[in-house]
Amino acid sequence: SIAALDKSWAQLDGDLIKILRNKEAFLYEDGDSKLTYFGDLVPNTFYLKAGYLTAIDTYPMETIIQKKKLIKQAIREKRLCFFSHDMKIGAAFLSGDESNPDIEPVNVNE
């Protein structure tokens, strides 16, 4: 469940927002629809690999731990994931291993 990730999730109008020092992630559920917005935690699909971090990440170990948790949940719950800084893949489903997930792009503009 979402609450099982950890106690640092805040609830706002039924949606969960994760504040991770200088980053945030957003989880949304509506019936069978489950969405994950990774924000700057995973700005594009290149950064899905656990050890791939932005150069300005000041808390790299914390980022790796949170990324793995969110990616594992996205795979397990078949969540549609959004990447705000990816020029080619704006949304995708993830599968496989959370340390190096497979990416199944989805065209959400149709």
Per residue of the chain (110 residues), give pLDDT as tens.
Answer: 344 344 455 555 555 555 556 567 788 888 888 999 988 889 999 999 988 998 888 888 888 888 898 999 999 999 999 998 999 999 999 999 988 999 999 998 76
User: What letter would DSSP give residue 106?
Assistant: -
Selection from 108, 106, 110, 79 nearest residue 1 by Cα: 79
Query: What is the Cα–Cα distance from 22 to 98, expressed in whole angstroms?
Result: 23
Give the chain's end-to-end CA distance (angstroms, integer).
Answer: 30
CA dihedral over 51, 46, 62, 34, signed as positive or negative: negative
pLDDT score, position 79? 95
- Which residue bears the tokens 């790299």? 60
Selection from 95, 96, 90, 94 nearest residue 109 by Cα: 90
Which three-class secondary structure state does DSSP give residue 72? Answer: helix
- One-letter amino acid for residue 79 of the chain: R
pTM for the predicted model, two decimal places: 0.80
Question: Do 56 and 70 contact (CB within 8 A), yes or no?
Answer: no
